[in-house]
Amino acid sequence: MFTHNKALQYTVRVAEPNPVLASLLLEQFGGPDGELAAAMRYFTQGLAEDDAGRKDMLLDIATEELSHLEIIGSIVAMLNKGAKGQLAEAALEEAELYRSLTAGGNSHTQGILYGGGPALTNSSGVPWTAAYVDSRGDPTCDLRSNIAAESRAKIVYERLIAVTDDPGIKDALGFLMTREIAHQKSFEKALYSIEDNFPPGKLQGVPQFDSLYVNSSTGMGDADGPWNSGEEWERIDDVVAAGPLDGGDGNAKVQLSDAEMTAVKAMASRTSSDPSKDPLTGADLGSLQS
Amino acid sequence: MFTHNKALQYTVRVAEPNPVLASLLLEQFGGPDGELAAAMRYFTQGLAEDDAGRKDMLLDIATEELSHLEIIGSIVAMLNKGAKGQLAEAALEEAELYRSLTAGGNSHTQGILYGGGPALTNSSGVPWTAAYVDSRGDPTCDLRSNIAAESRAKIVYERLIAVTDDPGIKDALGFLMTREIAHQKSFEKALYSIEDNFPPGKLQGVPQFDSLYVNSSTGMGDADGPWNSGEEWERIDDVVAAGPLDGGDGNAKVQLSDAEMTAVKAMASRTSSDPSKDPLTGADLGSLQS
Amino acid sequence: MFTHNKALQYTVRVAEPNPVLASLLLEQFGGPDGELAAAMRYFTQGLAEDDAGRKDMLLDIATEELSHLEIIGSIVAMLNKGAKGQLAEAALEEAELYRSLTAGGNSHTQGILYGGGPALTNSSGVPWTAAYVDSRGDPTCDLRSNIAAESRAKIVYERLIAVTDDPGIKDALGFLMTREIAHQKSFEKALYSIEDNFPPGKLQGVPQFDSLYVNSSTGMGDADGPWNSGEEWERIDDVVAAGPLDGGDGNAKVQLSDAEMTAVKAMASRTSSDPSKDPLTGADLGSLQS
Amino acid sequence: MFTHNKALQYTVRVAEPNPVLASLLLEQFGGPDGELAAAMRYFTQGLAEDDAGRKDMLLDIATEELSHLEIIGSIVAMLNKGAKGQLAEAALEEAELYRSLTAGGNSHTQGILYGGGPALTNSSGVPWTAAYVDSRGDPTCDLRSNIAAESRAKIVYERLIAVTDDPGIKDALGFLMTREIAHQKSFEKALYSIEDNFPPGKLQGVPQFDSLYVNSSTGMGDADGPWNSGEEWERIDDVVAAGPLDGGDGNAKVQLSDAEMTAVKAMASRTSSDPSKDPLTGADLGSLQS
Amino acid sequence: MFTHNKALQYTVRVAEPNPVLASLLLEQFGGPDGELAAAMRYFTQGLAEDDAGRKDMLLDIATEELSHLEIIGSIVAMLNKGAKGQLAEAALEEAELYRSLTAGGNSHTQGILYGGGPALTNSSGVPWTAAYVDSRGDPTCDLRSNIAAESRAKIVYERLIAVTDDPGIKDALGFLMTREIAHQKSFEKALYSIEDNFPPGKLQGVPQFDSLYVNSSTGMGDADGPWNSGEEWERIDDVVAAGPLDGGDGNAKVQLSDAEMTAVKAMASRTSSDPSKDPLTGADLGSLQS
Amino acid sequence: MFTHNKALQYTVRVAEPNPVLASLLLEQFGGPDGELAAAMRYFTQGLAEDDAGRKDMLLDIATEELSHLEIIGSIVAMLNKGAKGQLAEAALEEAELYRSLTAGGNSHTQGILYGGGPALTNSSGVPWTAAYVDSRGDPTCDLRSNIAAESRAKIVYERLIAVTDDPGIKDALGFLMTREIAHQKSFEKALYSIEDNFPPGKLQGVPQFDSLYVNSSTGMGDADGPWNSGEEWERIDDVVAAGPLDGGDGNAKVQLSDAEMTAVKAMASRTSSDPSKDPLTGADLGSLQS
């Protein structure tokens, strides 16, 4: 069960309102790498987890991410506070309000639709979707996904820090960014505490194909590196010449029943594009008339 | 530029049609960890990449994933081929067609809407969305995202292999699963070929917070492990008692102009929920009338 | 800031696994009226709220809804626990696993994609979206939205109770349903504690139009009731005869500049569908050839 | 069946083109509280409704909302009319057209993609989704949802009125806003004409929990009001100390079969994160190399 | 302005309830080719249209499609009517209701979430989205899109007719299917009444490239037809050998300022994946430990 | 199988960086008529196609569209290249970076979230969705959809050409636009090579209704043209007077079982909105208190 204390985990000090900046910060409130995505990724994993240590860790970090969601949302609320009041009270001339709402970013929707409250959208106004949550119920996948998610969240905070000179916001974003680093370290420890974590899952790969590099893109700029060259790797450089890798003919086949075959043939005959004639077309009509 | 050869990279041999199984396999055609997601993740990264080796690798693997999209789509097409013909020609009684389309999974939509062609949806019929693509334009993030994505794709193939006993499909899925393992290895090599890849990005964390573990979830089941204990970690066990981590009061503040303050106060006064009276409510009315 | 205790707010006792039922219960985990939607609705409102009483209430209830999200998610996890293990270990024959995953509802995606963990989707597998959250930053709207949302959540729980006879699940769902009733009562009290809460917002309506009923749908079944008849209402029964309600000509007009007018006329002339001739069409070609 | 008369229900008089303002107004064309959402909410309810009075009312108002969709769409079309013609004819220099399309709001997409026609998106360009429609097939829910929806639509119109000084647009928006007030009154009458409309649905709540207030958020700012205090309410102030509200242990449990238990244990053993060792991790590698 | 008459445009006679069939029919209520998509496609075009004939036609057909939306929605409501009542009143044993809701298709969500009312989703429960509406504000595009949309709607009706033997439903679907044919004919006439409707829009193509066929897919199954062969076409058969079609080097280039170049180089150096060393990776660690 | 050559199909020469223009061009990268949508439309059709000529053509054009996706993505990458480096290195003062990211269009999200890489979104930042792909598995529909899609893509390129004066970009966009014209011609040839392609599909329409024009929108602006007048058409001008077109009563009916009827009646009685009384409502309470 969750409890809440109205003190923030980190004090939010905003120098002055700025709805445009608020709309950029939404990236970490309702964006794909934002704090809701993080909280929900770990929370859904934690609920189904039976490993005592991982379950505890996932619920610890999920809960902390909710506290971070509160911090970033509070910054957004402060940045919008002036505009919210002035729009609600129609306290400015229309033209002034109009200008204040069309100054950039996505602030117009934040004002008109959300009334200055923090909205669970990204910086373009796209509503948060659980499609961002990539929990798969296997720890050797999920921990890797968490490591990656923390690294993405870190870089987005880094970019936001680069575009604001409000010292209070910069300070709070620095805290939030750093926590992502700490979380990544925890997830790394948990992953590497699993013996045989690679390949992920239980099934081993087919030996013939698990150290093969298929050089599918050729021409200028073909390059070598430890990712495609060296003892570890076999390599195919002429993909078409190598042909289907199973040695077959590269066709797709299925065994149909007679009844199915009859229907398929009837359809084929009925819908054939006859290659032998050159028909007059709608495009021809469109050009002919001019 | 891309070219295509109509031979598949791996021959597809399907024993007999099965639209329900087809609808499960869509997970790897148009699902979040499917081949389109993979191809587009690496392709979008490759286009903006300036590092010669990584660019080549990303375009190699993106291209191969397109070939895998073709394989999985071809299996789906074969599994649906009979139903497609029979529905198009209305070759069965209505009741039989109805039964064949409502036998499970998501096959009803695959028949009615997509006419038996492979659709870019997941196994629930949810259309593929680029929200699945988490390219962020920083290699220390993107390569970690790629590693995680490959591990997820591997596990989904493993699950699909577990639910079909068609030997041709099982064989092709084993190939596809194995290629994800190989790709993960390439991305790992590329990541660790970057010096100082942790923390991701350029900015270092705030030292005070980057080795701190916040034990936010307590009660039964609290556990220790290398992810929260040991020399590396500082730790907070009583989160509320520890208070805001910056030592402040945990409030959110902003400096409003006088005009803004006037509007905010007017709004607050106008919309106050007066705590001192106990009003009759709509719910009271709804109960009173009975 | 949030904290978590690993004891649930209500003990979850599930009689036996049932992935199909699990997929139905997802409606209250990741569906539009589910617990995440509730928590996020109140949380986003609470962050921007300045009224002390409402802010406290919103954060109280938001936090409790997170505890409810945990309860419903735990039920789902228990219902899926057997299938999760058996799929991960490939512990059954393929045909048996296949049958277990295609037994109804949306359980196939829950197994293949989410590995038996609770997923933030509704019972059709549609990912949760913040489009479900209708916070607008005005308490006379938001409290009404909350009242409505609680009533919807109540009815969905009522339906789920009606379809399961597992006593432990029924009991927990009864608890969750009842809490929605209590929350609705709180929101009602807060709404009616605002003086002049109707019409919502600050601006009064135009007197001429705020007690007018427009009888737009006529024919059999036209009916009277206090919603369209009585002293309170003026009424228009013949909508077309009444004409535009402002007394104007019902056209849409704009004043274009000369340059704009020139462009608009050029476009109109270039793209005119000439009504005076009867052209041969693509459809004609398609029929003619037969 | 529907019929249409090409006179608008309210005459639209736009002073001059302004694509940026047009993009803001889209909020009420294709946004979550816009006229399509309203029309579809009432229409879907009306189709399944058996109560003669409510069915008539729902179809009346659904139809009127379609007429309002036409009004707001016509305003948008007038505001875009100049830009539409000039872009179609390439009637301005490139740099001028570029400036006209990047002047703010979402006007760039409205020009490039939609060619100046009214698009069913909100003011951020997010396509309308039926996820906005919260019809649930129960009148004690649906009427509350309608009341809430009307109040939200009213406030969005109020905000749009505050940001434009075009007298014709202001006048038409005032009409549309006022109609939402009238509709809200109708829905209120219909709701309170149902005896026993609270709690919504048929099932009563569990008496022990339906007047309980759970004070989940504590610390500074805890407040009392009729929503959590007074004779009506029981109250829990120390949530964790109160423990699981059913008096149980707060754990989630399920009875697995032996075969299920075997698989679950095998998975647990295979994927255990061993808490006793401190492994070298990928993050360590990333730092070590520097 | 719209008006409504409660008589349907076509009488709906349903033999007996069948929620599974109802869920299939949703394809034409809230699916991509359903009646809402049709109505909104033509309505949004009609609002911005200045050509008198086309505007009238678009509004005629948009209005008729709304009447068809009503017909298909009424069929769905009738098919769900029994289940709706029984679920609302909990009139059956739990196990019976459970079975009735998990009998196939998407009927479980239709019952639990939508309470048996027609929902604006497709047959998989995916909410309708305005992303289905492809109005572009140019008649030579929009009319082609309308022709295509009518043809798709026709085929989906044809498939639905093939799977039901309820004579009343079959009859109504036959009517609806036929109307799509009639609408397609109208749109064809309007398109071909525009002189010079091909190429669409105003700008002519570059002569060098507008009759060129690029044979990008080779290998077995290469075929000739009037779409790639004959006098009309020039053709490239070896795409790579032909090289970039502008005769350039096929690279992407941009002129950066000195400051930009400095930053780009710093980033490249900092994030280089050094191809000369073969690093130990996370995957190596995961395998090494076993 | 696909292969790739790192030379572009058309050389990309960008004069100078411009992230705002980049965000507009995304319309053809990840927008509804963009190159990914085109490639996936033809690719999914090609996989399920049995007609040899069409299959070859679909795979040819799908592959070429991937090459075009690469071209447009490369232009976007070039336009963002400077901003990408400067943001990654924090090479400018915060205020300068902030200004550069909020200069218009959707460039703020492209910088903050995507780091300057080309993102699969449209020009408003809406992620690409497979809902844009309207493949239906019937060639008489799919080819019409392809013709329409090519015409839409052509017009969007035409608009983009109109808003940029960078000669290299203009040239490349002209190439891409022209290829859409060529593709449309191929699809036209393939469609009209099918005998009896109208009506699409197999089933003929009901003769009574396939040449009927329903004049649903009347009043000022009613117009005649070959789409609704002439020998080919029958016509209904007074829709309501004409009544239900099947000659029935226009009601929706279903035969319920006794048990179903009992439940439906119980529900109706329980939830009746009694038209005979005028209840006090929540809105009344909200107004009364003032």
pLDDT digits (tens, 9 = 90+) for E251-287: 999 999 999 999 999 999 999 999 998 999 999 998 8
Hey, of D8, D98, D151, D154, which one would you mutate to test binding to chain F, going by the most F CBs within 10 A of its CB?
Answer: D98
- Tell me the per-residue pLDDT of C147-186, one tens digit each, with 9 for 90 and over: 999 999 999 999 999 999 999 999 999 999 999 999 999 9
pLDDT at residue A288 greater than cutoff 90: no
- Tell me the per-residue pLDDT of A27-48, one tens digit each, with 9 for 90 and over: 999 999 999 999 999 999 999 9
- Across C192-206, average pLDDT: 95
Distance of alpha carbon C109 from alpha carbon C127, whole angstroms: 12
- Tell me the per-residue pLDDT of D20-56, one tens digit each, with 9 for 90 and over: 999 999 999 999 999 999 999 999 999 999 999 999 9
b vs e for E85-112, b when ≥16 Cβ sit within 10 Å of the residue's Cβ? bbbbbbbbeeeebbebbbbbbbbbbbbb
Select the residue of B221, B264, B283 nearest C6 (Cβ to Cβ): B221
For B66, the closest chain F residue by CA position comes to F2
C176 min Cα distance to partner chain D (Å): 9
Nearby residues of F119 by Cβ (< 8 Å), 6 or more positions away: B44, B130, B133, B135, F26, F29, F30, F109, F110, F113, F125
Provide the pLDDT for residue E277. 87
C285 min Cα distance to partner chain D (Å): 30
- Across E67-80, average pLDDT: 98
Measured between beta carbons, the chain B residues lying within 8 angstroms of D285 are 192, 198
Structure confidence at residue B290 as a pLDDT band (50, 70, 90): very low
Nearby residues of E127 by Cβ (< 8 Å), 6 or more positions away: C126, D129, D130, D131, D133, E30, E120, E121
Q: Supply C24's token pair.
A: 């139905």
pLDDT at residue F286 greater than cutoff 90: no
- Tell me the per-residue pLDDT of C4-43, one tens digit each, with 9 for 90 and over: 999 999 999 999 999 999 999 999 999 999 999 999 999 9
Nearby residues of D133 by Cβ (< 8 Å), 6 or more positions away: D37, D40, D41, D44, E119, E120, E127
Q: What percent of chain F has pLDDT over 70?
A: 99
Interface of E with D in 68-127 (CB under 8 A): 69-70, 73-74, 76-77, 80-81, 84, 88-90, 113-121, 127
Q: What is the value of pTM for the model shown? A: 0.97
Measured between beta carbons, the chain D residues lying within 8 angstroms of F160 are 112
Nearby residues of E212 by Cβ (< 8 Å), 6 or more positions away: E233, E234, E235, E236, F179, F182
- Tell me the per-residue pLDDT of F165-217, one tens digit each, with 9 for 90 and over: 999 999 999 999 999 999 999 999 999 999 989 999 999 999 999 999 999 99
What is the predicted ipTM?
Answer: 0.96
- Across F130-146, average pLDDT: 98
Provide the pLDDT for residue D48. 95
- Across E49-66, average pLDDT: 97
- Across F103-111, average pLDDT: 94
Provide the pLDDT for residue E290. 45
Whether residue A137 and residue C116 make contact (CB cut-off 8 A), yes or no, is: yes
D174 CB within 8 Å of a chain C CB: yes
F28 CB within 8 Å of a chain B CB: no
Provide the pLDDT for residue D3. 98
A273, F193 Cβ separation under 8 angstroms: yes
pLDDT at residue C290 greater than cutoff 60: no
Cβ atoms < 10 Å from Cβ of B35: 25
Measured between beta carbons, the chain D residues lying within 8 angstroms of E201 are 88
pLDDT at residue F151 greater than cutoff 60: yes
- Tell me the per-residue pLDDT of E131-153, one tens digit each, with 9 for 90 and over: 999 999 999 999 999 999 999 99
pLDDT at residue E73 greater than cutoff 80: yes
E168 min Cα distance to partner chain D (Å): 18
- Tell me the per-residue pLDDT of A179-193, one tens digit each, with 9 for 90 and over: 999 999 999 999 999
Select the residue of E106, E155, E163 nearest B101 (Cβ to Cβ): E163
pLDDT at residue E288 greater than cutoff 80: no
- Across A213-235, average pLDDT: 96
pLDDT at residue D168 greater than cutoff 90: yes
- Across E180-190, average pLDDT: 97
Select the residue of F225, F277, F286 nearest C273 (Cβ to Cβ): F225
Provide the pLDDT for residue B66. 98
Measured between beta carbons, the chain D residues lying within 8 angstroms of F18 are none
Measured between beta carbons, the chain E residues lying within 8 angstroms of A141 are none
Q: Using omega within 30 degrees of 0 as the cis cutoff, is the peptide bond preceding A199 cis?
A: yes
Distance of alpha carbon A153 from alpha carbon A140, whole angstroms: 20
Residues linked to residue A3 through DSSP beta bridges, in sequence order:
C3
Distance of alpha carbon D223 from alpha carbon B275, whole angstroms: 9
Whether residue E155 and residue B115 make contact (CB cut-off 8 A), yes or no, is: yes
A222, B59 Cβ separation under 8 angstroms: no
- B217-218 and C2-5 as β-strands: parallel, antiparallel, unpaired? parallel
Provide the pLDDT for residue C286. 86
Nearby residues of F286 by Cβ (< 8 Å), 6 or more positions away: C140, C191, C192, C194, C196, C197, C198
Q: In C207-279, which ranges are E strands?
A: 212-214, 217-218, 234-236, 252-254
Phi, psi torsion values for A212, nearest 5 degrees:
-105, 135
Whether residue A27 and residue F147 make contact (CB cut-off 8 A), yes or no, is: no
Provide the pLDDT for residue D290. 46
- What's F201's DSSP letter? S
D239 min Cα distance to partner chain F (Å): 33
pLDDT at residue C94 greater than cutoff 70: yes
Distance of alpha carbon C157 from alpha carbon A105, whole angstroms: 40
Measured between beta carbons, the chain B residues lying within 8 angstroms of A140 are 151, 155
A165 min Cα distance to partner chain F (Å): 6
D138 CB within 8 Å of a chain F CB: yes
Distance of alpha carbon D169 from alpha carbon C255, whole angstroms: 13
pLDDT at residue A119 greater than cutoff 70: yes
Cβ atoms < 10 Å from Cβ of C7: 19
E149 CB within 8 Å of a chain B CB: no
Q: How many CB pairs under 8 A join C and F?
A: 70
pLDDT at residue D138 greater than cutoff 50: yes
For B125, the closest chain E residue by CA position comes to E124
- Tell me the per-residue pLDDT of A53-105, one tens digit each, with 9 for 90 and over: 999 999 999 999 999 999 999 999 999 999 999 999 999 999 999 999 999 99
- Tell me the per-residue pLDDT of B160-214, one tens digit each, with 9 for 90 and over: 999 999 999 999 999 999 999 999 999 999 999 999 899 999 999 999 999 999 9
pLDDT at residue D231 greater than cutoff 90: yes
Distance of alpha carbon D9 from alpha carbon A191, whole angstroms: 64
- Across E66-95, average pLDDT: 97
- Across D168-188, average pLDDT: 98
Distance of alpha carbon A239 from alpha carbon E88, whole angstroms: 61
A58 CB within 8 Å of a chain C CB: no
b vs e for D233-272, b when ≥16 Cβ sit within 10 Å of the residue's Cβ? beebeebeeebbbbebebebbbebeeebeebbebbeebbb
Alpha carbons within 13 angstroms on the beta-carbon side of residue A6 total 22
Whether residue B63 and residue F3 make contact (CB cut-off 8 A), yes or no, is: yes
Q: How many residues does chain B have?
A: 290
Helix (H, G, I), strand (E, B), or coil: what is residue F12?
A: strand
Q: What percent of chain E has pLDDT over 70?
A: 99
E203 CB within 8 Å of a chain C CB: no
pLDDT at residue A140 greater than cutoff 60: yes
C115, B155 Cβ separation under 8 angstroms: yes
Provide the pLDDT for residue F288. 67
Nearby residues of B278 by Cβ (< 8 Å), 6 or more positions away: C189, D226, D230, D232
